């Protein structure tokens, strides 16, 4: 016989135990249960010696340790000449973390494993909900979702979460789900599916774990037989669905314009959409930002689909690469590195980038300025040049020297006698001003955008005031324009924004 026999006890009611499982249990002397907290346990053969691993749940700090300990003990019991029968709720291969680990350990030791099927929690839950799994149902473990910061789920497909066994787990699951689903999204708690006590409670995601509302008494029974059903979002919002839309546009039966596009032809649109995102941020317009980020995402997905069509790379490669890079460059979050603050983060970030380049096939950099994109806007490029040079000590000792340099460049512009010299000196002045912005922790691009917005608003107010007098701005004298300008400044006065950098150098921010 197999040394390790895995037996599924079904979803709850003893009548749902399979005939094979019953035959195995009636022919055995003893059985080890993952948990004795299961309705079918009370109806097992009276001659059966029953052991359970329930005590381990109280001894360990988290479920990973619990499952590892149970798996190790089951495999140890399986080494005995008589082997071991290990039984668990539902089906051994549906949402059973201990079984996955047992199979790994048993394979490493060359132990035989037999699996005896049981009805899983899924089938009676589908019955209680009145839905069909073939409609695209996802099945996941609530404990796994609770441990994450974003749910590993497609929001365009329904999901059934098992083991929502306590209010604490429900709270953690809710917080994770709310990174993708709105608080008002309707969900359903499925209690004790597969038993005579089965019931379904419909409520909003935000209400799922609350005690202080009329239906709280119906939800008080969070237990091992509680599951959560999350319907798809009312509007298509999954990344895979959007990829399918773009792939369709590029397909033979798609759009002629999209099929003609190349990486190079889309370059102006990518630049335009990036600037429109910045405009929405500067305006602090969340609705516009949502829309513009969508337009920018279109460019990312379309560029990637073009590469996919050419078999250069796929979206999974893009995401895998950046995901690995972010994890690698944040060892203080995903590893065991300790940091004292932002300065430590920046130093680690740069050191890791150097190590990455040394380990890669990329040519070594001859200058600390290498890697700064030549196509950056001039203000951003000047800011990055100054920041890079400052890393090796090529910088002013304090801000007063920077401001003196700005004054010096102004004088040199005044002294310039020809256009070529004036242009060069003016460029030096702008570079010095960007350097001063870095010292003053100001983002020069944001500061100039804000100044443009203020100036534009004031000039429009001058135009409005002139029209109120029945005149055009061009008909005003310079003194009249100045008076209207000063009035506009007073009328539109508001606290000036103080754009701060807040992060490390643009393009290299953790």
Q: Are residues 8 and 115 in the same domain?
A: yes
The residue among 297, 328, 359 that closes a domain is 328
Q: Please report the pLDDT score of residue 505 as a whole number.
A: 39
Question: Are the beta carbons of 473 and 463 closer than 8 angstroms?
Answer: yes
Q: CA-CA distance, 371 to 322, in Å (whole number)?
A: 17
Q: Are residues 129 and 105 in the same domain?
A: no
Q: How many Cβ atoms are within 10 Å of 185's Cβ, its own excluded?
A: 18
Class of residue 190 by CB neighbours under 10 A (exposed 0-12, middle 13-18, buried 19+): buried
pLDDT tens digit string along 302-345? 999 999 999 999 999 999 999 999 999 999 999 999 988 888 88
Residue 359 lies in a domain: no
Exposure b/e, 57-79, CB count within 10 A at least 16 = b: beeeeebeebbbbbbebbbebbe
- The residue among 347 and 238 whose pLDDT is bigger is 238
Parent domain of 387: 378-439
Q: Please report the pLDDT score of residue 388 as a whole number.
A: 83
Q: Which element (helix H / strand E) includes 307?
A: helix 286-309
pLDDT category of residue 494 using cuts at 50, 70 and 90: low
Residue 198 lies in a domain: yes
Residue 259 lies in a domain: yes
Taking the alpha carbons at both ends of the chain, their separation in whole angstroms is 56
Average per-residue pLDDT in the chain? Answer: 89
Torsional sign, CA 252, 255, 256, 258:
negative
Which CA distances in Å does 132 have to 62, 122, 138, 194?
A: 34, 10, 11, 16
Domain count along the chain: 4
Q: Are residues 148 and 195 in the same domain?
A: yes
At 28, give phi and psi (nearest 5°): -105, 160
pLDDT tens digit string along 67-96? 999 999 999 999 999 999 999 999 999 888
Q: How many Cβ atoms are within 10 Å of 392's Cβ, its own excluded?
A: 8
- pLDDT score of 368 more than 90: no
Q: Please report the pLDDT score of residue 211 as a whole number.
A: 54
Q: Which residue has the tokens 């394979």?
A: 107
Q: Please report the pLDDT score of residue 221 as a whole number.
A: 63
Q: Are residues 23 and 89 in the same domain?
A: yes
Geometric angle at alpha carbon 433, from 430 and 438, rounded to 5° = 130
- The residue among 13 and 319 whose pLDDT is bigger is 319
Tokens of 137: 């149902």
Q: CA-CA distance, 113 to 78, in Å (whole number)?
A: 9
Residue 495 lies in a domain: no
The DSSP symbol for 14 reads G
For the ranges 166-175, 349-358, 362-371, the one whose mean pLDDT is highest? 166-175
Q: Are residues 257 and 226 in the same domain?
A: no
Q: Give the pairing type, strands 159-162 and 30-33.
A: unpaired
Q: Are residues 9 and 95 in the same domain?
A: yes
CATH number at residue 131: 3.30.950.10
Q: CA-CA distance, 163 to 250, in Å (whole number)?
A: 42
Look up the pTM and report it: 0.74
Residue 453 lies in a domain: no
Torsional sign, CA 497, 503, 509, 510:
negative
Residue 508 lies in a domain: no
Q: CA-CA distance, 94 to 115, in Å (whole number)?
A: 12
The DSSP symbol for 231 reads P
Q: Please report the pLDDT score of residue 270 as a whole number.
A: 93
Q: CA-CA distance, 200 to 219, in Å (whole number)?
A: 10
Q: Are residues 300 and 387 in the same domain?
A: no
Q: Please report the pLDDT score of residue 510 as a whole number.
A: 41
Q: Are residues 80 and 114 in the same domain?
A: yes
Q: Please report the pLDDT score of residue 327 as a whole number.
A: 94
- pLDDT score of 479 more than 90: yes
- pLDDT score of 383 more than 50: yes
Q: Are residues 17 and 114 in the same domain?
A: yes
Q: CA-CA distance, 333 to 339, in Å (whole number)?
A: 10
Q: Are residues 314 and 278 in the same domain?
A: yes
pLDDT category of residue 376 using cuts at 50, 70 and 90: confident
Q: Are residues 8 and 100 in the same domain?
A: yes
Q: CA-CA distance, 162 to 253, in Å (whole number)?
A: 41
- The residue among 321 and 503 whose pLDDT is bigger is 321
CATH number at residue 297: 1.10.287.1080
The CA dihedral of 500, 503, 505, 509, to the nearest 10 degrees, is -150
Q: Please report the pLDDT score of residue 366 as a whole number.
A: 74
- pLDDT score of 52 more than 60: yes
Q: Crossing angle of helices 419-439/378-391, nearest 10°?
A: 60
Q: Are residues 149 and 178 in the same domain?
A: yes
pLDDT category of residue 105 using cuts at 50, 70 and 90: very high
Q: Please report the pLDDT score of residue 463 as a whole number.
A: 93
pLDDT category of residue 363 using cuts at 50, 70 and 90: low
The residue among 259, 294, 328 that closes a domain is 328
Exposure b/e, 281-300, CB count within 10 A at least 16 = b: bbeeeeeebeebeeebebbe
Residue 459 lies in a domain: no
pLDDT tens digit string along 392-416? 788 889 999 999 999 999 999 999 9
Residue 8 lies in a domain: yes
The residue among 439, 459, 482 that closes a domain is 439
């Amino acid at each position: 016989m197999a040394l390790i026999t895995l037996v599924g006890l079904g979803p709850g009611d003893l009548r749902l135990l399979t005939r094979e499982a019953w035959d195995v249990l009636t022919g055995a002397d003893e059985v080890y249960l993952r948990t004795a907290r299961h309705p079918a346990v009370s109806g097992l053969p009276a001659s059966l010696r029953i052991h359970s691993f329930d005590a381990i749940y109280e001894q360990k700090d988290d479920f990973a340790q619990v499952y590892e300990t149970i798996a190790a003990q089951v495999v140890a019991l399986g080494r005995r000449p008589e082997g071991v029968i290990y039984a668990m709720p539902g089906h051994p291969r549906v949402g059973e973390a201990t079984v996955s680990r047992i199979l790994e350990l048993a394979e490493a030791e060359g132990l035989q494993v037999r699996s005896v099927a049981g009805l899983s929690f899924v089938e009676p839950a589908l019955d209680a909900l009145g839905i069909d799994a073939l409609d695209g149902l996802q099945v996941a473990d609530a404990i796994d979702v609770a441990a994450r910061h974003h749910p590993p789920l497609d929001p365009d497909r329904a999901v059934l979460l098992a083991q929502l066994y306590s209010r604490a787990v429900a709270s953690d699951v809710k917080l994770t789900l709310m990174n993708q689903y709105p608080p008002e999204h309707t969900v359903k708690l499925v209690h004790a599916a597969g038993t005579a006590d089965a019931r379904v409670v419909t409520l909003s995601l935000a209400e799922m774990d609350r005690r202080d509302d009329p239906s709280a008494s119906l939800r008080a029974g969070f237990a091992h037989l509680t599951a959560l059903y999350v319907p798809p979002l009312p509007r298509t919002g999954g990344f895979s669905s959007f990829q399918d839309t773009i792939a369709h546009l590029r397909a033979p039966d798609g759009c002629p314009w999209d099929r003609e596009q190349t990486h190079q032809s889309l370059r102006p649109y990518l630049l335009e959409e990036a600037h429109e995102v910045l405009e929405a941020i500067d305006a602090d317009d969340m609705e516009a930002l949502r829309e513009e980020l969508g337009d920018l995402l279109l460019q990312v997905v379309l560029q990637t689909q073009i590469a996919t069509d050419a078999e250069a790379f796929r979206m999974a490669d893009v995401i895998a690469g950046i995901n690995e890079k972010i994890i690698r460059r944040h060892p203080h979050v995903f590893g065991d590195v300790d940091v004292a603050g932002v300065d430590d983060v920046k130093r680690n970030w740069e050191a890791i980038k150097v190590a990455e380049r040394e380990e890669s096939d990329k040519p070594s950099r001859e200058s600390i300025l290498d890697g700064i994109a030549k196509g950056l806007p001039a203000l951003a490029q000047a800011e990055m040049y100054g920041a890079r040079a400052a890393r090796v000590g090529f910088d002013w000792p304090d801000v007063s020297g920077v401001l003196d340099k700005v004054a010096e460049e102004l004088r040199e512009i005044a002294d310039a006698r020809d256009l070529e010299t004036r242009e060069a000196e003016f460029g030096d002045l702008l570079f010095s001003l960007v350097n001063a912005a870095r010292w003053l922790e100001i983002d020069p691009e944001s500061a100039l955008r804000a100044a443009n917005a203020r100036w534009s608003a004031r000039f429009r107010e001058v135009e409005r005031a002139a029209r109120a007098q029945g005149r055009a701005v061009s008909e005003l004298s310079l003194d009249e324009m100045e008076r209207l300008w000063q009035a506009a400044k007073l009328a539109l006065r508001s606290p000036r924004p103080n754009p701060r950098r807040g992060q490390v150098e643009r393009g290299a921010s953790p």
